[in-house]
Amino acid sequence: MIGRRVALTGLGVVAPCGLGQENFWSGLLGQQFTGGKWTTITDWDPLPFFDSPKEARRADQVEQFALAAAAEAFAQAGDINVDPARFGVILGTGVGGLGTLEEQVQIRLEKGERRVSPFLVPMMMANASGAAISMRYGLQGPNETICTACAASTHALGYAARLIAMGRCDAIISGGSEAAATPSSLAGFNNMTALSSSGQSRPFDKERDGFVMGEGAGIFVLEEWNHAVARGAKILGEIVGSASNADAHHITAPAPGGRGAINCMRLALDEAGLRSDEIVYVNAHGTSTPLNDAAEAAAMTAVFPHRPIVTSIKGVTGHALGAAGALEVASILLSFEHKLVPPTAGTTTLDDDVTIDLVLGSPRPWEPGPTMSNNFGFGGHNGSIILIPAA
């Protein structure tokens, strides 16, 4: 990435397989198979992250997740001490406050317009999570929300890193949050046959039949490298390149042969100044849908003939839509720390045309090195980001 180096110094995560870094990592290694068409965060309690129950009630769950993850990220990063005007917030989401919207539509239909909450609009706004984080921590730099379906948080992290690299900001909170497993959204995904009919997420498996809906948030502190070093921060990893492009093909189906994904991965490699054979590990989008997995596997085979390690964590987390990329970057940083790559839960037999080196069965030890994470969203949105261990 041309310009200043970008360090990651804080990480917070909220996911169905675990709240907080330690529980999230244990969940990934424990291969908690998702059963059913969706997996959610059970017994969620937002109150520890708000000053009062009233304040919590006025935040949709997508915002609650983001604030909880941000609290953990800030706690790990420590005293950042950056001019608030140069401290931004760049988040991604696919939907925003859908739960509140659906609830209030039902109230209007059953009880009339006057019973609709005056907090509907600020709770359903896609940008509510980013706004809440900036207000809570007094961050006055750029505050933007990227809404590009399942690629949203990967795009957000790439854009945030560029703002730091180019000198516009010295620190940024970035990542993504999603809480979209509502009755109507599930019905819509199910009726378009995107959800698994068997209730299992099985990325790249011969018997895969759709994804399992997930939810959660991954939030990160990004910081200019020299500033992080000067204050003695623990650096979790470095963002060295990213890319975004479009298939321009179909609203839901990927371009044939994964050509858009191929171009996106190559653009990210170019920005990072890396050869394809220098990538050691690819965290795949791996949704478990027939067309998307086939296109992604073909794209990885084309870009990486040396067959790096590949995994997908969606067999454990479900597919968290706009937060998926953030959860996957969280898993990469923890893989750097623990020197293990989580297995692809739910997958047992690779499809005949899939020739990638997919981690199956148990975690694989590795020597951390350049890692790419990919996300591809409805609308033909492609996102790739490359991280390296701190050095």
Alpha carbon distance 32, 45 (integer Å): 21
**185/166 Cα distance (integer angstroms):** 39
Active site residue 319: yes
Determine the distance from the C-alpha atom of residue 206 to the mean position of all C-alpha atoms in its chain, rounded to a whole number: 25
Determine the Cα–Cα distance for residues 33 and 27; give it in Å rounded to an integer.
Answer: 10
Q: Are 388 and 237 in contact (CB under 8 A)?
A: yes
User: Identity (one letter) of the amino acid at 101?
Assistant: L
Q: What is the dihedral of CA 280, 283, 288, 293, to 10 degrees?
A: -50
3-state secondary structure (DSSP) of residue 353: coil
**Out of 155, 227, 285, 381, which one is annotated catalytic?**
285
Active site residue 147: no
Active site residue 338: no
Compute the distance between CA of residue 98 and CA of residue 76 in angstroms, rounded to an integer.
Answer: 30
Catalytic member of 155, 169, 264, 319:
319
| Rg of the chain (C-alpha set) | 20
The one catalytic residue in 150, 155, 169, 381 is 150
Q: What type of residue sits at position 180?
A: A
Structure-token pair, residue 72 = 């953990």
Strand partners, 195: 211
Chain-centre distance for alpha carbon 111: 37
Eight-class DSSP state of 199: S
Packing angle between helix 21-29 and helix 324-338, nearest 10 degrees?
Answer: 90
- Known catalytic residues are 150, 285, 319
